[in-house]
Structure 1
Amino acid sequence: MTAYVHEGDLPEGALGHTGPIAVDCEAMGLNPHRDRLCVVQLSDGGEHEHLVRLDKGCYEAPVLKALLADRSRLKILHFARFDIAAVRKWLGVTMAPVYCTKIVSKLVRTYTDRHGLRDLARETIGQDISKQQQSSDWGAPRLSDAQVEYAASDVRYLHEIKQVLDERLAREGRIELAQACFDFLPMRAELDLLGWNEVDIFAHS
């Protein structure tokens, strides 16, 4: 597999024209208001991953935006809540429809509290993903080889993981429940951006 790094936008046709896309984002931190979006990585489940590096203040990226907002293509993410908010804040588009492997993990892997991508990949498909570059300077003008490999690995296995999780959702009778969660995610991300990120609006108090 090869990971391609693109500056500022995705080339036309890089991920074909149909089918689900695995998506992940790297930012300067976890606060989308403060921490700028730096890299968006994508995979159509084929042999290659594509990383789009975004410079500070340069968020035009028309091809990338159109792909992320394309409602005919499912976006597969892990902890989609953050990525949807970051894309909404910095690229100005809403990712939909979406599928979140972390949500499904919590719905079907109720025997564990370890729902990170590394643990999920290890159990479901036997892949060990390194997380060493998770906390690194994603705003640097050039990505290191280690950063490129880390970012690519975050989307490389999501299609395969989804297949396993879908089987478990069906087995446990929770497909409709998962879909309802996915449908709400863009609004959950919007609530985060509007200041309700730490407030449970469904709670009594």
Structure 2
Amino acid sequence: MAIHFHEEDLPSAALFGPGPIAVDTEAMGLHPGRDRLCLVQLSDGSGDEHLVRFSPGSDYAAPNLKALLGDQGRLKLYHFARFDIAIMQYYLGIMAAPLYCTRTASRLVRTYTDRHGLKELVRELLGQDLNKQQQTSDWGAPEINDAQRDYAASDVRYLHGLKEKLDQRLAREGRTQLAQACFDFLPARALLDLAGWDEQDIFAHV
């Protein structure tokens, strides 16, 4: 297992196996437009993680990264897809779908708890403990230290395994089709967020 660190784009020689690719982002905050995208993390589930860091003032050109994320034939795995695809749409100009969101799947099948964070999911379903100490660190700093890199990599390290476990539970509870409908809607939900309807339910009666 290795963590590969890149500046501004994936190198053309970066190899990813076939099948789903796990994706996560780190930003200066949770508001696209105000808070800039700093890091995109990727893993094909083979054991290596790739981190792409964007500097202040970046033009976010990243042609290799965009080609990978924009591939409509490759499923992208997220933990909180709503935010990740929104901020990548804003800065990279692509909708990184089709997608699968482990947090959404968890909410559909782990109805016995209100704890749907990645740390809780990984502990319960995979028996691993995640160190979340770097979650609120400065991702815009001039240097990303080793602890930050390992934290960022861990956010995509377990998504393939979580999907396998969550798919089993979705099938068991008869909610596979419902989950897929939610995943299919998430790009529209992200676009609504970016357009200013992030705090409003436009489907509500009042």
TM-score, normalising length: structure 2: 0.97
**Cα shift at 1:46:** 0.7
Q: 2:17, 2:44 within 8 Å by CA — same for their partners in 1?
A: no
* Alpha-carbon separation, structure 1, partners of 2:159 and 2:205: 36
Instruction: Give the structure 2 partner of residue 133 of structure 1.
Output: 134
Cα shift readout 1:102-142 (whole Å, capped 9, x = no counterpart) = 00000000000000000010000001111110101101121
Cα shift readout 1:71-93 (whole Å, capped 9, x = no counterpart) = 11100000100000000000000
> Mean Cα displacement is larger for which, 135-144 or 112-121?
135-144
Instruction: Give the structure 2 partner of residue 46 of structure 1.
Output: 46
Instruction: Give the structure 1 partner of residue 78 of structure 2.
Output: 77
Among the aligned pairs, what percent are the same residue? 67
* Alpha-carbon separation, structure 2, partners of 1:71 and 1:35: 27
TM-score, normalising length: structure 1: 0.98
Instruction: Give the structure 1 partner of residue 2 of structure 2.
Output: 2
Instruction: Give the structure 2 partner of residue 66 of structure 1.
Output: 67
Query: 4+ residue stretches of structure 1 with deviation over 6 A?
Result: none
**Cα shift at 1:18:** 2.3
RMSD between aligned residues: 0.9
* Alpha-carbon separation, structure 1, partners of 2:142 and 2:150: 17
Q: 1:101, 1:162 within 8 Å by CA — same for their partners in 2?
A: yes
How many residues align structurally? 205
Q: Say whether residues 1:20 and 2:35 are aligned partners.
A: no
Q: 1:15, 1:44 within 8 Å by CA — same for their partners in 2?
A: no
* Alpha-carbon separation, structure 2, partners of 1:90 and 1:20: 23
**Cα shift at 1:14:** 2.0
* Alpha-carbon separation, structure 1, partners of 2:115 and 2:166: 15
**Secondary structure at 1:99's aligned position in 2?**
strand
